[in-house]
Structure 1
Amino acid sequence: MYKDEMIQLHQFLVYVLKFLAENDQIQNDCSEYMILNISPHHIHKTKAEHKHAIFVLCKIISEIIADKDNNSIPSNVCNSLSDLVARSEKELKTA
């Protein structure tokens, strides 16, 4: 995936998170993403940084949806996303 495509996906996931936040007041669940200090508007950030932010957003969104409706997302999906976040974080630190 090209960097500009990642940035577009990053922006879409931010919109999804904002939609969930407006409906459920989930600001505290977003702290892991906020710590990254990267948004889709930061086009100077690397592709790897946007990729990591995408994984973090996917993990947060899946956890929120799983908490709302226990049958909607299997726990192994949330666990796999957590593993992806950990792996991408390691890649960022070694790069």
Structure 2
Amino acid sequence: MYKDEMIQLHQFLVYVLKYLSEDDKITHDCSEYISLKISPHHIHKTKAEHKHAIFVLCKIISEVIADKDNNSIPDNVRNSLSDLVTRSEKEIKMA
């Protein structure tokens, strides 16, 4: 995937997260994403940083959906997303 496509996906996931938010309750759930200090508008960030942000957003979205609708997302999917976040974080540190 090209960097500009990653940025578009990043933006889409931010929109999905905003759509799922209710009464700013979601701010607490996405502290991990906020701590990255990267948004889709940061085009100067590396492809790996956007990829990591995408994985973090996917993990948060899956947790929000699971909280709203019990067991709608299997635990193994959420665990796999957590593993992807960990691996992508290691990739950034190694670069």
Judge same fold: TM > 0.5, yes or no: yes
Equivalent residue, structure 2, for 1:11: 11
What are the residue-to-residue correspondences of 1:32-51 with 2, within 5 Å?
32-51=32-51
Q: Post-superposition shift, 1:20?
A: 1.2
- Gaps of at least 5 residues in structure 2 are none
Paired-residue identity, %: 84
Runs of 4+ in 1 over 4 A off after TM superposition: none
Quote how far apart the aligned CAs of 1:60 are.
Answer: 0.2
Tell me the alpha carbon deviations over residues 17-44 of structure 1, each in whole angstroms, 9 at most, x when there is no partner.
Answer: 1111146721100100000000000000
Q: Where is the helix percentage greater, Structure 1 or Structure 2? A: 1
Q: Kindly provide the amino acid, as one letter, of the partner of residue 93 in structure 2.
A: K
TM-score by length of 1: 0.95
Measure the CA separation in 2 of the matches of 1:69 and 1:24.
Answer: 18
- Deviations, residues 29-70 of structure 1 (Å, cap 9, x unaligned): 010000000000000000000000000000000011011112
After TM superposition, the score normalised by the length of structure 2 is: 0.95
Structure 1: tracts of 5 or more residues without a match: none
Task: Give 2:36's aligned amino acid.
Answer: L
- In structure 2, the partner of 1:66 is 66
Q: Equivalents in 1 of 2:82, 2:67: separation in Å?
A: 15
Deviations 1:65-93 (A, max 9, x none): 01111231101100000000000000000
Give the aligned residue type for 1:20.
L
**Residue 91 (structure 1) aligns with:** 91
What is the CA–CA distance in structure 2 between the aligned matches of 1:23 and 1:6, rounded to whole Å? 28
Aligned residue pairs: how many?
95
